[in-house]
Structure 1
Amino acid sequence: MTKELWLNLPVKKIPNSKAFFKTIGFSFDEEREREDMAAMKVGEKKVPVMLITENTFKNVIQHNITDTSKSSEMMISFDAESREEVDEIAQKVEKAGGTVFSKPSEIQGWMYGCAFTDLDGHRWNVLYMDMSKMSES
């Protein structure tokens, strides 16, 4: 049945979004890139997040795009190797022009994370999870 999962995310300007995500540590599959689309690779399994210009995205979905200044349709979460990496990512996000709307902090005694918006207002969550402390909370 399912062979691969990928996410499609509308962006205003591919070069700006690529620069933002490269700054915070993501890489791209240059072979899958077009003028209106870039394939960001996420995690060990290299799950693609397709950054697609808003016009192309709107044509594909045949629907309006969410106004990220007013609402969110989803939050994309990814893990970090350590608390320090969470802190580093938060700093890189701000340096790259994003907004950390939830500063790095401990969550439920076994997670440490922060949440941010990218240049187009999409919400992201990065978490370090200490599974050895999970049962304590």
Structure 2
Amino acid sequence: MTKQVWLNLPVKDALKAKEFYTAIGFTFLEERTTPDSACMLVGESNFVVMLFAETMFQNFIQHTITDTSQSAEFLISIDAESREEVDRLAQKVRAAGGNVFAAPGENQGWMYGCGFCDLEGHRWNVLYMDFSKMPKH
């Protein structure tokens, strides 16, 4: 039944959002990019994140768009290959104008990560997980 799942995000300016995500290392399908939308690929499985101008997104949801300065509807989590990759991504986010709301650091003794907001306030979590240090039950 389901072939693929993708995430749709509202943005004020799809091309400006594309610039931000390109600067931090994400790739895009150029043939699926318009002035009002951009098709971003995440990870080895090429998970699709569609960036839609708010007016276009509003037509899809027929509901109010969440004010990301006041609340979060979800946390998008991605994995990193190393602690150093987490650190590099945090630096790229800052340089591209994003907000690192949780600096890179240890979490629960077996994870290392950081949290950041993109230009629109969508929250992302980047984690390197060392499963050999994960507590056993």
Where on the TM-score scale, by shorter chain, does this alignment land: which range?
over 0.9
TM-score, normalisation: structure 1: 0.97
Q: Please state whether the residue corresponding to 2:85 is helix, strand or coil.
A: helix
* RMSD of Structure 2 on Structure 1 (CA): 1.1
TM-score, normalisation: structure 2: 0.97
Whether 1:86 and 2:72 are equivalent positions in the alignment is no
Structure 1 unmatched runs, 5+: none
Q: Please state whether the residue corresponding to 1:40 is helix, strand or coil.
A: strand
Amino acid at match of 1:118: D
CA shift, 1:26, in A, is 0.3
Percentage of identical aligned residues: 63
Amino acid at match of 2:44: E
After superposition, the C-alpha distances for 1:44-84 in whole angstroms (9 at most, x for unaligned) are: 01010000000000011000100000001001010001000
CA shift, 1:136, in A, is 5.8
Amino acid at match of 2:12: K
The alignment of Structure 1 onto Structure 2 pairs a total of residues equal to: 137
Match of 2:72? 72
Q: Please state whether the residue corresponding to 2:45 is helix, strand or coil.
A: coil
Whether 1:26 and 2:26 are equivalent positions in the alignment is yes
Amino acid at match of 2:67: D
The 2-side partners of 1:59 and 1:38 are apart by 16
CA shift, 1:135, in A, is 2.8
Q: Please state whether the residue corresponding to 1:2 is helix, strand or coil.
A: coil
Runs (4+) of structure 1 exceeding 3 A deviation are none
Match of 1:126? 126
Amino acid at match of 2:85: E
Match of 1:3? 3
Q: Please state whether the residue corresponding to 1:135 is helix, strand or coil.
A: coil
Match of 1:14? 14
Amino acid at match of 2:103: K
Match of 1:61? 61
CA shift, 1:101, in A, is 0.4
